Structure 1
Amino acid sequence: MQFFVLVARLGSLAAAARAIDLTPPAATKRLAALEARLGVRLVNRTTRSLSLTSEGETYLRHATRILADVREMEDVVSQGRATPRGLLRVNATLGFGRTVIAPLVSQFAQRYPDVEVQVEVTDRPVDLVESGFDLAIRFGELPDKRLNARRILSNRRFLCASPGYLERHGTPATLADLASHRCIIHRQNDDAYGIWRFMHRDHSEAVKVHGALSSNDGDIVLGWALDGHGILIRSEWDLAKYLDSGRLRVVLPEFRLPAADLFVYYPSRRNQPVRARAFIDFLADHFKGARQRHG
């Protein structure tokens, strides 16, 4: 089951073989033996691609759940052990996962050498239960009610622009003024394009904005704002050092934007693995310290 789940996740027999130190012929033989024992074809293979059959999809769904149950059983049996150990699968967003979470995993691995950590970064939403992840790290609240969440960082969002842009184009005094400004749009998931939503005196207001530059990557749009191309929405986590240095200024601070708090999400199981608890506590301690250092 572990082998098949790996093949399905990586989408390649060769990649699965490399991951578990098998030769490609041995991986092919293992898959063929599994299909022969079940009496059904689990995958459709060509020289360039691999896709699951409907039977393969069913096998994957059940195998993922069973493997998660086995891990949970082992965790329950070994709860008395003080030292976290075993496999921890973590999902995080691309940029934040690469620049912030990966270095923290390095520190965590030094503290807990008996924990094997697998980190997968992707900006698309993931189903923790179906994908077999122990936890996901995301900004903003997820709609999946099957999950538990722990906030590890409060993170407000602001309108901001460079001093150079504001000198050339003026500083907006009202939300209506944004319509005549160049706005840099960060496209995220299914958010309505170019619609910015604010709260002011307990009222919600939506503004349609326009601009020549947009991207789905947060670092790219932040760079454009620093270069003076327009007004941008970013979180205080991203802005802190630029606001401190004066490279960016907050615009219309009296209008509140939806927060981008950082959460750790995990399947709503009663018996959370010791290693998962240790990692979540490790993250919470780090971000609490980071917030205190940044004031």
Structure 2
Amino acid sequence: MFNWEGVTEFVAVAEKESFTAAAKQLGISTAQVSRQVSALESRLATKLFYRTTRQVSVTEAGEIYYQHCRQVLDGLENAERALSNLQSAPRGKLRITAPTTYGESKIAPLINSFVSQYSDLEVYCQFTNQKVDLIENGFDMAIRLGKLEDSSMMAKRLSSRRLFVCASHAYLSTHGEPHLVSELEHHNCLQGTLEYWRFQEKGQERNIKTHGSLSYNSGLALLDAALKGLGIVQLPDYYVQEYIQSGELIALLENYQPSDEGVWALYPHNRHLSPKVRVLLDYLSEHLD
């Protein structure tokens, strides 16, 4: 088993370059620091410091030993901090950003339930489809959908979303139902912000360019158009699932449905999450899934 005696004293002297200053930092006598360091040098059979009446400096061997000891002590401090955070209740301000519709329909109800459990927590939530810079704008967490771009942020997958192609009975009774992706070119495809729809065929992802007489940068507007029989639409499940279940919309081309996309929480790369972020991450992961 590793003998810790003298290690804390050695690190303090190496950082302060003084036995007296190290003793003051540790709250013990200079003589005790000197005895512990001398005992450590004897045990290691290595000289760790050059000592003169005016100066203390680390030897080459002492510098190598210090770097390793510092890492170990940092690890212990981090471990204690992590345990302390684990036992701490969320408190203070928490800033979150999420995509507008997903945020309003899925995230907001969960945050409201979450906040009701922690009276010392103050939450600010911004719903926007813009990619907000978390560091620059002071956000603790962002909810992102789909494939993530390369980033220095940490990411945790909370859930998934599925894309559906669907249309109303009124539209299909007039224009017929497409059974192949290639048949979409003969249909009015309601357009979103992208010029293509995503599919999967024979295990391969395919992006198919679509055309239509109506285009919106709003999923709710596209949903309304589809419900009114104006065309076929491709939208995520949280827009259309209840209407598919009720029969108001018919799911199409299910054999070509693309793989589920991730719902992610992004947060700055810190060694230890604060209790408020960690607890919210766990809460969202449990309830979204």
Q: TM-score range by the shorter chain?
A: 0.5 to 0.7
Aligned to 1:127: 133
Aligned to 2:147: 141
Contact 1:141 1:263 in 2 (8 A): no
Matched, 1:273 2:274: yes
Matched, 1:181 2:158: no
Aligned to 1:286: 287
Which one-letter code corresponds to 2:181 in the other structure?
A: L
Task: Give the distance between the partners of 2:176 and 2:86, measured in 1 at CA.
Answer: 63
Structure 1 residue 144, shift from structure 2 partner: 3.4
Q: Secondary structure at the match of 1:88?
A: strand
Aligned to 1:28: none
Matched, 1:216 2:222: no
Structure 1 residue 155, shift from structure 2 partner: 1.5
Structure 1 residue 257, shift from structure 2 partner: 2.5
Aligned to 2:110, which of 104, 112, 116?
104
Structure 1 residue 78, shift from structure 2 partner: 5.8
Matched length: 210
Which range moved further: 239-248 or 256-265?
256-265
Aligned to 2:172, which of 166, 175, 179?
166
Task: Give the distance between the partners of 1:173 and 1:156, measured in 2 at CA.
Answer: 19
Aligned to 2:244: 243
TM-score (normalised: structure 1)? 0.66
Residue by residue over 1:69-107, the C-alpha shift from the partner in whole angstroms, topping out at 9 and shown as x without a partner, is xxxxxx879626421111111001122223332232221
Task: Give the distance between the partners of 1:244 and 1:256, measured in 2 at CA.
Answer: 17
Q: 1:183 to 1:119 in 2, by over 3 A?
A: same
Matched, 1:152 2:158: yes
Q: Secondary structure at the match of 1:210?
A: coil
Q: 1:78 to 1:232 in 2, by over 3 A?
A: same
Contact 1:147 1:266 in 2 (8 A): yes
Aligned to 2:97: 91
Q: Secondary structure at the match of 1:111?
A: coil
Q: 1:93 to 1:203 in 2, by over 3 A?
A: closer
Aligned to 1:201: 202
Task: Give the distance between the partners of 1:275 and 1:171, measured in 2 at CA.
Answer: 49
Q: CA RMSD in A?
A: 2.1
Task: Give the distance between the partners of 2:92 and 2:115, measured in 1 at CA.
Answer: 12
Contact 2:97 2:128 in 1 (8 A): yes
Q: 1:254 to 1:115 in 2, by over 3 A?
A: same
Task: Give the distance between the partners of 2:138 and 2:221, measured in 1 at CA.
Answer: 31
Structure 1 residue 260, shift from structure 2 partner: 3.5
Task: Give the distance between the partners of 1:270 and 1:161, measured in 2 at CA.
Answer: 48
TM-score (normalised: structure 2)? 0.67
Gaps of 5+ in 1: 1-74, 289-295
Q: 1:115 to 1:80 in 2, by over 3 A?
A: same
- What is the 5 A alignment of 1:32-43? none
Task: Give the distance between the partners of 1:197 and 1:248, measured in 2 at CA.
Answer: 19
Q: 1:202 to 1:96 in 2, by over 3 A?
A: closer
- Identity, % of aligned pairs? 36
Task: Give the distance between the partners of 1:205 and 1:130, measured in 2 at CA.
Answer: 36
Contact 1:235 1:260 in 2 (8 A): no
Gaps of 5+ in 2: 1-80
Aligned to 2:8: none
Aligned to 1:229: 230
Residue by residue over 1:180-206, the C-alpha shift from the partner in whole angstroms, topping out at 9 and shown as x without a partner, is 10001111xxx4x2x223221123433
Q: 1:107 to 1:80 in 2, by over 3 A?
A: closer
Which is greater in Rg?
2
Contact 1:198 1:255 in 2 (8 A): yes
Contact 1:149 1:264 in 2 (8 A): yes
Task: Give the distance between the partners of 1:255 and 1:80, measured in 2 at CA.
Answer: 45
Structure 1 residue 233, shift from structure 2 partner: 0.7
Aligned to 1:118: 124
Structure 1 residue 214, shift from structure 2 partner: 1.2
